[in-house]
């Protein structure tokens, strides 16, 4: 490494000496068969206008120092701070579609790839703040870019449309997803649609969703059984309510995720006097698409070929 002083001119670089020294690579120092070439370089710098006694000599020893590349920066912005900036960027805007989409396009203008993780974290932040209109705008903008076309994104959009009171758009999205994914529709979508219709007292459409689940062989979870049973009791269909409780008894065990690990715990006995609306609110807040329930009381009487509890053509 060459040491420099201000106002100095480098005149020459001179190799002073190159010597060969016996240096053992392996084993003890007595092994003279293995040798290593060690070149001792000494750079003599002749400085203009300075006395020769001030000439500095340094030897280049050890590995060559590595310097960071000029096109790489060490100050990187994480996805959390980027998502926070994205939320602040669109939060104070109006509800005009062109204005929101323009701000989102300018936010990702210099990105080499679409920042999908940043947008997902921003959607989660907006969901915690219950900004349903912004969630709808950001999700539709993301889908228009051809990014994030997953069932999780569609579920976020469906939930935001329902919470914002846009039931027609939510039903249109549900029918589109249901027709495209007839046999692979996640159960959480059925749970969401049943809860939407239950809150609005739309019993006929709620029974249609439940009939579709039975026809496809999708076992309803506890919240769906509780909501459907509550409607049967309100309408005086006690025979259907008893049949429902017999076919889908409450589970004794369920799986929950605690710190990333799936834990099997015993379920608490549910009281008949509980309000199913509270269970719906709790289920919406803690919806987990990976959660599964384990039923121990499944016998031969519960079969896919069994007569359905409610059929769509009976309601007409």
For residue 65, what is the DSSP state?
P
Question: What pLDDT, on the 0 to 100 scale, is given for residue 108?
Answer: 92
**Range of lowest pLDDT (47-51, 129-133, 194-198, 256-260):** 47-51
Query: Could you report the per-residue pLDDT of 152-171, keeping only the tens digit for each?
Result: 999 999 999 999 999 999 99
DSSP string, 193-231: HHHHHHHTT-HHHHHHHHHHHHHHTPPP-HHHHHHHHHH
d(CA 155, CA 135): 11
Question: What pLDDT, on the 0 to 100 scale, is given for residue 158?
Answer: 96
**Higher per-residue pLDDT: 312 or 261:** 261
Question: What pLDDT, on the 0 to 100 scale, is given for residue 268?
Answer: 77
Q: What confidence category does residue 255 fall into, taking pLDDT thresholds of 50, 70 and 90?
A: confident
Q: What percent of the chain has pLDDT over 90?
A: 47
**Higher per-residue pLDDT: 310 or 263:** 263
Residue pointed to by tokens 């509550």: 230
Closest CA to 309 of 231, 214, 218, 233: 214
Say whether pLDDT at 258 is over 50.
yes
Q: What is the pTM of this model?
A: 0.64
**Higher per-residue pLDDT: 294 or 311:** 311
Say whether pLDDT at 252 is over 90.
no
**Range of lowest pLDDT (68-77, 183-192, 232-241):** 68-77
Say whether pLDDT at 287 is over 90.
no
CB 106 within 8 Å of CB 130: no
For residue 52, what is the DSSP state?
G
Question: What pLDDT, on the 0 to 100 scale, is given for residue 250?
Answer: 86
Question: What pLDDT, on the 0 to 100 scale, is given for residue 195?
Answer: 94
d(CA 116, CA 122): 10
Q: What confidence category does residue 70 fall into, taking pLDDT thresholds of 50, 70 and 90?
A: low
Question: What pLDDT, on the 0 to 100 scale, is given for residue 99?
Answer: 93
Query: Could you report the per-residue pLDDT of 83-112, keeping only the tens digit for each?
Result: 999 999 998 898 899 999 999 999 999 988
CB 296 within 8 Å of CB 253: yes
Tokens of 305: 């070929």
d(CA 228, CA 205): 11
**Range of lowest pLDDT (58-72, 78-92, 97-111, 196-210):** 58-72
Residue pointed to by tokens 């099997």: 264
Question: What pLDDT, on the 0 to 100 scale, is given for residue 159?
Answer: 95
Q: Which residues lie below 8 Å from residue 221, measured CB to CB, with a gap of 6+?
A: 187, 191, 293
Question: What pLDDT, on the 0 to 100 scale, is given for residue 299?
Answer: 40
Closest CA to 155 of 117, 193, 194: 193
CB 221 within 8 Å of CB 251: no
Residue pointed to by tokens 């997803």: 177
Say whether pLDDT at 291 is over 60.
no
CB 103 within 8 Å of CB 93: yes
Question: What pLDDT, on the 0 to 100 scale, is given for residue 37?
Answer: 37
Reported as half-sphere exposure (CB side, CA atoms, 13 A), residue 189 has a value of: 26
Question: What pLDDT, on the 0 to 100 scale, is given for residue 183?
Answer: 86
Say whether pLDDT at 189 is over 50.
yes
């Amino acid at each position: 490494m060459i040491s420099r002083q201000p106002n100095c001119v480098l005149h020459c670089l001179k190799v002073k000496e190159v010597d060969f020294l016996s240096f053992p690579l392996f084993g003890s120092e007595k092994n003279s068969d293995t040798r290593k070439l060690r070149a001792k370089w000494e750079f003599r710098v002749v400085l203009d206008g300075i006395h020769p006694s001030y000439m500095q000599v340094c030897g280049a020893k050890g590995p060559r120092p590595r310097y960071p590349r000029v096109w790489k920066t060490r100050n990187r912005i994480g996805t959390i701070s980027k998502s926070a900036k994205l939320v602040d960027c669109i939060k104070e805007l109006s509800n005009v579609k062109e204005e929101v989409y323009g701000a989102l396009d300018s936010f990702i203008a210099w990105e080499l790839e679409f920042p999908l993780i940043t947008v997902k974290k921003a959607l989660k932040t907006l969901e915690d703040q219950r900004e349903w209109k912004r969630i709808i705008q950001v999700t539709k903008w993301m889908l228009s870019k051809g990014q994030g076309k997953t069932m999780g994104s569609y579920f976020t959009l469906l939930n935001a449309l329902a919470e914002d009171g846009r039931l027609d758009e939510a039903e249109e999205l549900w029918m589109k997803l249901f027709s495209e994914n007839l046999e692979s529709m996640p159960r959480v979508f059925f749970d969401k649609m049943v809860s939407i219709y239950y809150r609005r007292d739309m019993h006929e459409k709620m029974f249609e969703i439940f009939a579709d689940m039975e026809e496809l062989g999708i076992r309803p979870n506890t919240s769906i059984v509780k909501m459907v049973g509550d409607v049967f009791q309100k309408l005086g269909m006690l025979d259907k309510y008893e049949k429902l409780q017999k076919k889908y008894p409450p589970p004794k065990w369920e799986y929950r995720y605690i710190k990333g690990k799936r834990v099997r715990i015993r379920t608490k006995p549910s009281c008949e006097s509980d309000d199913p609306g509270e269970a719906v609110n709790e289920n919406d807040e803690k919806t987990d698409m990976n959660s599964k329930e384990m039923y121990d009381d499944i016998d031969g009487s519960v079969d896919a070929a069994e007569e359905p509890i409610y059929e769509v053509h009976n309601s007409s």
